[in-house]
Amino acid sequence: MKFLADENFDNTIIRGLLRRKPDVDLVHVRDVGLAGADDPTVLEWAAQENRVLLTHDVATVTHYAYERMAAGQSMTGVIEVTFDASIGRVIEDLLFILDCSLEGELEGQIYYLPL
């Protein structure tokens, strides 16, 4: 499973996840030239690159993800993390998802963390 971290995704979570699982395939929107891009553009890129989007943006990303699915467009998956969630718990939940999910299993799914 490959991840794309949204623009404002907590870097502490990213660093902790990479510390626990250094081989996780994770890129940040700024690393791929999407800094400042709108949500539909980020979701489109994630779908093209087969990456699950990690975001804190529960307000708008969900809307655009469902909009993509309603239009018959692919949506690789979104994992939405509440801002007040325990960082350790989120890292554990992400590791659980990585260890227990098959490639493509999050297609068309939106998960909310903590689980």
- Contacts of residues 30-35 at CB distance under 8 Å and 24 or more positions apart, as own/partner, are 32/4, 34/7, 35/7
Look up the CATH number of domain 2-113.
3.40.50
Specify which residues 78 forms β-bridges with.
Answer: 53, 110
Question: At 51, which helix (H) or strand (E)?
Answer: strand 51-55
Quickly state the pLDDT bin for 55 (edges 50, 70, 90): very high
What would the mean pLDDT of 94-107 be, rounded to a whole number? 93
| Annotated domain spans of the chain | 2-113
d(C-alpha 115, C-alpha 111), whole Å:
8
Please give the model's pTM, rounded to 2 decimal places.
0.94
Q: Look over the chain and give the mean of its residue pLDDT values, rounded to a whole number.
A: 94
Do 113 and 94 touch, CB atoms closer than 8 A?
yes
Over residues 3-28, the pLDDT tens digits come to 999 999 999 999 999 999 999 999 99
